[in-house]
Amino acid sequence: MMELLPQALTDGILLGGIYITIAIAFSLTYGVMHVIDFAVGEWIMFGAFTGYYLNKWTGLDPFLFLPVIFVLYFGVGYVIQPVIHRVLSGTKGNPFLMGLVFTFGLAIMFRGLALTAFGFYSNSIPSAFSEGSFNLEPLGLTVTIPTVRLVGLGYALAITLILHYLLKKTNFGLGVRALAQHKDAAGLMGVNSKRTGSYVYGIYVGISAMTGVLLGCILSIGAQMGNEYTIFAFFVVVLAGMGYLAGVPWAALLLGLVQSIFMIYFNPSHTLLAVFAILYIILLISPRGLFGKGV
């Protein structure tokens, strides 16, 4: 069994890399809106199916559609966010509770729509990269690296770097960080919370949808896949510390490792239980994340 360990670690790191993108986008949205989006898994699922059907109709490689899917879902997010904003800035009832309930309702609705449109079957998206793989032999151990996963990691790194640039080097990013720190003060400094929120939500939905296509190429797609990824996104964000972006990559890699180790050594259907057990322990011991820097 030990000879499988390098393979498990490699798979885990390659998969975890992809989760970074979802979790960073998810964390950003939380930072700006202060509400968790329960529909995160559903956005991933919608993106995956969009990629699947575009590939089926045109026969082109799903990777070519990533920009199209991003633009499409950016638009969707941009249009939906004002509704969430309206709920959150309402004076009736408890806006925060209402925001959570609202995204929960959206998630249920999206799941119903997806099941109606796509059925209960699971599929995978064929890509030119799907077949290929190559072997590495470090220290006499053979490790197989599927090309599609490597491409996925490259994509994740690119997205992470772009987001990093956007957040740290642009005025827009300054506004986003200000909103995350203090919404009212940021507003007084001239940050338009409504428009910035729409952009961030659009970016988050777009990235989630794109990542869905990648996950569809690497693993599989199905109308019920959203649940699992919502839990994964939450897992990463809690482990990193809510709102602490620098912790996200480590937490995402850990999730990838847990998943690949369970896939190889244990029963894959116990992955969710392991994820929940780790989550529970972290919340019990260090609720502000692995690094103690969350809010």
Partner 1 sequence: MKNRGATVLAILVAALLILPLVVHDTFVLRVLTEGVMWIGLAIAFDVIAGYTGYLNFGHGAFFGIGAYTIGILMMQANLPFWAALPLGGVAAAVVALIAGIPTLRLKGAYFAIATWALSRAIQQLALNVEFTGGPDGMRLDAFLNPQFFYYLMLITVGGTFAILWYLLERAPFGLKLKAIREDEEGAKALGLNPTKLKMQSFILSALPTGILGGIYAYWITFIDPSSTLGDLVSDQAVVMVVFGGMGTLFGPALGAILIFAFKTLFWAYLSDFQLLYLIILGALIAISVIFIPNGLWGTMFKRKADAARPQHQTEPASEPAALSAVAAPEEGN
Binding-site ranges for partner 1 (CB under 8 A): 30, 35-36, 38, 83, 86-87, 90-94, 96-98, 100-102, 104-113, 115-116, 227, 230-231, 234, 238, 242, 267, 269-270, 272-273, 276, 279-280, 283-284, 287
Q: DSSP string covering 25-75, please?
A: HHHHHHHHHSS--TTHHHHHHHHHHHHHHHHHHH---GGGGHHHHHHHHHH
171 vs 269, which CB is nearer to partner 1?
A: 269
| Closest distance of CB 295 from partner 1, Å | 8
| Closest distance of CB 107 from partner 1, Å | 7
35 vs 251, which CB is nearer to partner 1?
A: 35
Residue 248 and residue 240: Cα distance in Å, rounded? Answer: 5
- Is residue 127 within 8 A of residue 217, CB to CB? The reply is yes
| Closest distance of CB 248 from partner 1, Å | 16
111 vs 149, which CB is nearer to partner 1?
A: 111
E strands, 98-177, are 122-123, 133-136, 143-146
| Closest distance of CB 226 from partner 1, Å | 11
Residue 37 and residue 35: Cα distance in Å, rounded? Answer: 6
| Closest distance of CB 175 from partner 1, Å | 23
Please name the residue that has the structure tokens 């290929």: 132
Give the chain's largest Cα–Cα span. 66
26 vs 70, which CB is nearer to partner 1?
A: 26
